[in-house]
Structures are given as structure tokens and as C-alpha cells.
Amino acid sequence: MTGKTAFETRYGFARKDVRLDNWRLRPFSQWSFQNVGELVPSVHVAAASGGEEQAKSLDGLLGEKVTLGGGAETVEAFLKRSDTDGLTILKAGKLVGDWSAPHMPFGARHIIFSISKSVTAILAGILEGEGVFDPEAPVTRYIPEAKGSAYGDASVRNVLDMTVSLDFEEAYLDPESAFARYRRATLWNPGGGSESLATFLLTIQRLAEPHGQTYRYRSPNSDMLGILVERASGKRVSDLLSEKLWLPLGAASEMSVTVDMEGTARTAGGMSVTPRDLARIGEMMRQGGVANGHRIVPEAWVRDTVAAGGSHEAWRRGTMAFLFPKGRYRNKWYQMGTASDAFCGIGIHGQWIYVNPKAEVVIAKMSSQPEPVDDVLDLDIVAFFEALSGMV
């Protein structure tokens, strides 16, 4: 056979070329980030409605100029330069419009990587409001077997705010690191299936520094949070997402979450949603925890998360202070410390949910950036969001 299939015409490679050892690499990520469930076992969470949404063009906005670190360029040019796959913008709760790259059909789900952490924290906030989850409790109240690990003398608050003194590095590109073993335990890398995610988490030891002093971005904390909310509630994360968030939110499309050999959800990074539904999460947070006229998460929790809580000193001691010099981190959401009071969730390879309360703007951006982390581009993305908020 010499003719190209429709798949090869769209993506430039064959489906058989995408494997567990390359799904996070370009060009394969342009497909795999929308189809993680074909590569990693996943559980699905049904949508609130079966109605099909229609794309709305951003019209003339795409040709408007924004001035970023490298000079002036059009909105559309920056979307392409930053490897955007899908974008949705809301203003005062109303849809401004959508943008999709040629390889991402409108309405497709896309992995949001570490924005999954922010979503999991919302479940924790809901359970806290119901009185079944205590953020100030020791981890061992819910997971007694954590004794002897780094979490043995840590609090749930340390887990929520990434201030566990964890002896672990986010070495995304090192195949011999503990991080690679971690990914095998999540079934994200070849060779998994001999060690569960929970088992791996309880092998991590702590550093000498006391918990609570330094913001350390360590993804295992957020998988631990998923286990904590399951232990506190007696329900699986997928069931909690359905009952407590996805149905009340009025999500239009189902979501999915990758799971390990025991069915433990990858709450640190395994969720896939559409840009529209991610924007709905941002709008719910902008509205203080309310969606469709119904309260989903306590207002006090949202206020603490996006405005009041978190330690600037702990953030300043961490390695991400360059991105938000006046920022803080609370309940797995970033307070950006800007004049707009903006806050956000961030995932590797260019996933963002950005909320600007003063401009009443929410922007969901999903991407397939070649590098997991690109500090220079992140600074441009933040400036782009701020500029876009003044244009819509």
C-alpha cells in the first residue's frame, strides 16, 4: 500500500508509530495528548449533558497584535508559536470564542497534566466543606501506612501546598531517575505493572529540612492527595469527580483519568477534558465556587485558595519564583501576585487555566509544546494572557 490514510494525512505519521515510550514527544504528542486512553488505562467520568457544542470563532481577535518579550506579533501567530492545540476564552461568564489547531478537532479531550492537581484540590475543598476532610490533619490520620515515609510526619496542608520536604526530583527527561520509576508505577512508561503508584509513594523519604518551609514542586504529593481524598470519603476519585464536580458543573463532555495497575487515579497529571469544560472550571473558581446557580465548593475555600492563603516566603524559597515574583501557592493553585489578582493552574507541555478576576476573563489553553518545561515561553504566555484580558 502506498496511499496515506486519513490519520497519516492529518498528523504526518501512522497510529502504529505512537507507543508508550514516545507518546510525550513531538510529533506524536499532537495526537496522543488527545487520546491518552489508547495508551494508558483510564477511567471515564460521564458528562452532565449529551448536547453537542458548536465552535465559536475568535474572528478579528486573531489578527490583533500583542507585544511580548520578542516584540509584537498577532494573537494567532503566538498561538501557533506556543504550540497551542485548543483555546477557549470566556468574558464575564460568556463565551468569547474558541481556537483549534488543524490536528485537534473542536470538542476533543486533551490531557491537562498538572492542572489535574488543581482539580483534585477542588475535591479536597468540597470534602472539607462537608466536614469529612481536615487539611490540618496529619497524613497518617488517613493513611497510617505512610509512617516511615516522607509523609509520616507531614500534614495534609503540606501536601496541598507542596511544602513536604520530599527527597525527589521532577527529572522529566532522565530515564534512570526515580521520576522514571514513578512514571512506570503510573503505567505512563514502558516496564510498569510490577509496582503500584501507592507502593512507590510510600518509598519516598524526606529531606532534613522541616516540612512547611519551602515550596517544592513534586508531583507525588498530588497523587498522595488523591489517595487522601479517597480514604477520607470512602469513594474512588472518579466517583467523587462525577458526583461532586462534573455533574454539578454542567460539563458538556466526559472527562477521563489515567489509572495504575490497582485502579488508583493519576491525580497529579492524568486528567483529560475539553477546553470548554476546563474553562468552566475556571469560571466556577472566578465565581467563588458557584456554577449554574449552585454552590459546588465553599466560598471560604476558594477565597483562601486564590487570594488569601499560601506563604509568599515558602514560594520565594522555591524554584518557580521567577515566574510569579510576588506569587504564592495554595491548594495546588497559583496566585500570580499581579495587579489583576489573576490566578492559574499549570501543566507541563503548555497546559493553562488562567483566571483574571478584575477583567472577568477566563482562558483555557491546551498545547503540545515539545519540551515539558520552557521557562522563557512561560513568561511570554503569562504576558499574553494579561494582554488578551484587556482585548476581549
CA-closest candidate to residue 206, choices 136, 154, 266, 155: 154
In a 10 Å sphere around its CB, with 0-12 CB exposed, 13-18 middle and 19+ buried, how is residue 339 labelled?
exposed
If phi > 0 it is left, if psi is from -120 to 50 it is alpha, else beta; for residue 379 that is alpha
Note if 114 is an active site residue.
Answer: yes
Cβ neighbour number for residue 93 with a 10 Å cutoff:
12
CB 386 within 8 A of CB 342: yes
**3-state SS assignment for residue 96:** strand
Do 336 and 327 touch, CB atoms closer than 8 A? yes
Residue 310 neighbours by CB distance under 10 Å = 24
Residues 6+ away with beta carbon under 8 Å from 147: 140
Task: Provide the strand spans (E) within the chain.
Answer: 42-45, 65-68, 71-74, 84-91, 94-100, 110-111, 255-258, 271-273, 290-291, 294-295, 328-330, 333-335, 343-347, 351-356, 361-367
Taking the C-alpha atoms of residue 231 and residue 289, their distance in angstroms, rounded to an integer, is 24
Closest CA to 240 of 125, 110, 364: 125
Look at residues 325, 347, 262 and name the one whose alpha carbon lies nearest to residue 85: 347
Task: Return d(Cα 221, Cα 213) in angstroms, integer.
Answer: 15
Tell me the chain's radius of gyration from C-alpha atoms: 20
- Which of 82, 114, 165, 272 is flagged as catalytic? 114
Q: Which of 350, 337, 344 is nearest to 362 (CA)?
A: 344
**Cα distance between residue 159 and residue 169, in whole Å:** 16
**What is the maximum alpha-carbon separation in the chain?**
63
Residues marked active site are found at: 114
